[in-house]
Every structure is written in C-alpha cells, then in structure tokens.
Amino acid sequence: MSTDAPHAPEATGGVEEVHILWISEGMSCDGDTISITAASQPAIEDVLLGAIPGLPKVNLHNKVLSPTLGGEEYIKPFRAAKEGTLDAPYVVVIEGSIPNENINGDGYWTSFGNDLATGEPLTINQWIDDLAPAAFAMIAVGTCATYGGIHAMAGNPTGCMGLADYLGWDYRSAAGLPIVNIPGCPVQPDNFMETLTWLLYQAAGLAPMIPLDEALRPQWLFGKTVHEGCDRAGYYEQGDFAEDYNSPKCQVKIGCWGPVVNCNVPKRGWMAGIGGCPNVGGICIGCTMPGFPDKFMPFMDAPPGGGVSTAVTGTYGPVIRRLRGITNRTMNKETKWRHNEDKLTTGYDPRWGN
C-alpha cells in the first residue's frame, strides 16, 4: 500500500446514464446489499427513480434488488460491459472479499455465471479483470471487499483479500478514479449511498474528484474516530468508566476500540440517525479498519494502551468530576436576589438617582 495520499486527475463529466454492476459473489453474506435498503440520505429508491436533481439515470443490476430475475437475462448487462457493448458507462460495486484463485487446487472458490463457450464457472476474479479497465469507478462495499475482512483472517484457506489488494492500490479507473472503499461490517447504509451519490454527480460533471484517505475511504466520512463522535466520550475524559455492558459510561475498559477507530457510526447512527454500536451499548470492535479482525482480537479485551490511558485518566478524572460536581450544584441554584421581598438586593445602584 502506498504511503502517499491517492491522487487522480480531474474527471470530466456530462454522463446522462449509468449502469451499476453490483457483484456480491465475493466471499460474502450479502449483508451490505441488505444494509443499503435502510438508507435514507438518500434512499436507493430515490436514486433509481430519478428523484435526486442533477443525477444521471441509474440502472441498478443487483441480484437481490434488481427488478430483473436471475439467470442469463440478469447477467446480460455484465456480459455486455465485459464485451464493450454496454449502452452507457458503468460503475462496478464489489461485495465480499476476493479469494486467491491461484491456490484453488482443481476447483474454484466462488463464481458468477458460466462461460458460454465452455460451460465452466466464471470466477469473480475473471469478472474483475474484465470489467475494471473500462469502469467509470470501482467501489468496494463492506469490509470484506475493502480489506478482506472476516474471510481474510489468519488461518483461512482461501487467501482472501480486498479489492485494492487484488487490483493494486495504485489502480485508476477509466475516469481516473482510485478504488473507492466504503468499509463496515456491514456498511453503514447512508455512508454508501452518500458516496455513491458523490460519484454519480462526478459522472454528471457536477462534483470534483472524490476526496479519499490513505486507505481509500471517503475523507469526510472516516476522518474522525468513533471516540470523537461518541456520546460516552465525556465519561472517558472524566475517568468514569463502565464496568459492565449495562452502563451508559465509557466502555474502553471493557473492550471498546473507539479512540483509535475511524468510523462515524456513533455520530450518524445506523437507521434514521438511530442505533450504532456504542449508542446501543455495544463496544466498537474496529470493523471499518484495514486491520480488522486480526488486529482487534480477542474482542471484549481492553485495547493495547487502554490500561495506561484509563489509568492516567483515572488519576485526574475524579478530581475533575468533583470540581464539576461542585460547579453543577452551584449552577443548579438561583441567585439570591430573586425574591418577593420589599428590598432590592441585586446590588443595583443607579448613578443618577432613581
């Protein structure tokens, strides 16, 4: 992975119609597809029905959400894109981690459709190889597709990896875009739809190059940590930690990785601004991070450095709590000159008489 921030030239626009070719035949549970049905900023329906001003017409090809039934009829636009005969530019969305087909023995790890000439299964690797060069954009949705995720953890036999590991971190699409990673296990629905909307506006020539961080995530979504957006963060600062999962206090001591994980879910919520792991009593286990899950295991254990940071905070936190408690009690009382008596006690003394 390059240590330099990804850069690509300004994309040209004017596209009036876009196909979204969504392939979830990676090592996947289809959780990301299900997740985006809950999006509201914007909703997938609004994008497909043309309710968002300025967006090109969008044709979605997803095996769960597409109006086209399965079988060869469903695969037609994918084959047309592969052959260069599709009637409009296309965006490829990959869901699920990419297996290493170089170590598949005599079989294959996963496939999508069959080769019409031989009848043999077409692997997701073959589809990516054929579709990536001419794609307007390549999007990896969910942590499995972005960085490998659960299927790529130590001890797996498939050699799974993320899309950027497969294509290369320096990949650029036909429009000059890097791979766009939107991690999450599953992806936060509005994070995906907001990113997709940016790319569609970019295709229409109405938005600049999408800003991504080193891990190819949208900067405005993943630029802050869980801790920075968490309602429990004030407890941490005061050294007030939860001892069990029933507490509303900071959960760092019981395994939360929030202070070091890039994710906006505590601030954004999950559906309609509601939910999200720490918001409902769950700890953050780092599912949006490239090192997930291996570097965050075992879950439920306090993260490295957590003991030191909580010990330091635990030293000055009680003092801060005590002082703030005194101030809080003082501020919860009215001033003494507010009374219904016959003498003014505010200290008011008019210079020029009454």
Based on the domain organization, do 201 and 261 belong to the same domain? Answer: no
pLDDT at residue number 312: 63
Q: How many domains does the chain have?
A: 2
Based on the domain organization, do 217 and 82 belong to the same domain? Answer: yes
Tell me the CATH number at 240.
4.10.480.10
pLDDT at residue number 344: 85
User: Could you tell me the pTM of the whole model?
Assistant: 0.84
The strand pair at 111-114 and 121-123 is best described as antiparallel
Residue 352 lies in a domain: no
C-alpha closest to that of 92 among 14, 166, 149: 166
pLDDT at residue number 2: 40
C-alpha closest to that of 184 among 176, 192, 173: 192
Based on the domain organization, do 94 and 48 belong to the same domain? Answer: yes
Residue 354 lies in a domain: no
Residue 246 lies in a domain: yes
DSSP string, 239-301: T-B-SSTT-SSB-GGGT--GGG-B--HHHH-SBTTB--TGGGTPPP--TTSTTTTGGGPSTTS
Residue 278 lies in a domain: yes
Based on the domain organization, do 162 and 77 belong to the same domain? Answer: yes
Tell me the CATH number at 195.
3.40.50.700
pLDDT at residue number 354: 57
Cα angle 214, 282, 216; round to 5:
10
Based on the domain organization, do 40 and 166 belong to the same domain? Answer: yes
pLDDT at residue number 13: 53
Based on the domain organization, do 51 and 142 belong to the same domain? Answer: yes
Based on the domain organization, do 161 and 284 belong to the same domain? Answer: no
Give me 90's structure tokens: 């296309």
CA distance 323 to 335: 20
Based on the domain organization, do 102 and 234 belong to the same domain? Answer: no
Residue 329 lies in a domain: no
Based on the domain organization, do 150 and 257 belong to the same domain? Answer: no
Residue 29 lies in a domain: yes
pLDDT at residue number 7: 37
Among 222, 253, 288, give the residue marking a domain's end. Answer: 222
pLDDT at residue number 283: 93
Residue 215 lies in a domain: yes
Domain containing 95: what range? 17-222
Based on the domain organization, do 182 and 230 belong to the same domain? Answer: no
Based on the domain organization, do 215 and 229 belong to the same domain? Answer: no
CA distance 266 to 227: 8
pLDDT at residue number 298: 85
Confirm if 192 and 39 have CB atoms less than 8 A apart.
Answer: yes
Residues 6 or more apart whose Cβ sits within 8 Å of residue 3: 214
Among 197, 222, 247, give the residue marking a domain's end. Answer: 222
Q: Where are the alpha helices (DSSP H) in the chain?
A: 31-36, 44-48, 72-83, 124-131, 143-147, 163-167, 189-203, 219-222, 233-237, 265-268, 306-331
CA distance 121 to 99: 15
Residue 349 lies in a domain: no
Based on the domain organization, do 148 and 275 belong to the same domain? Answer: no
Burial of 287 (0-12, 13-18, 19+ CB in 10 A): buried
The one-digit pLDDT tens for each residue of the chain (354 residues) are 343 433 333 444 589 999 999 999 999 999 999 999 999 999 999 999 999 999 999 999 999 887 766 788 899 999 999 999 999 999 999 999 999 999 998 899 999 999 999 999 999 999 999 999 999 999 999 999 999 999 999 999 999 999 999 999 999 999 999 999 999 999 999 999 999 999 999 999 999 999 999 999 999 999 999 999 999 988 988 888 999 989 999 998 899 999 999 999 999 999 888 999 999 999 999 999 999 999 998 887 767 666 656 666 667 677 777 776 787 788 888 778 888 888 888 887 777 765
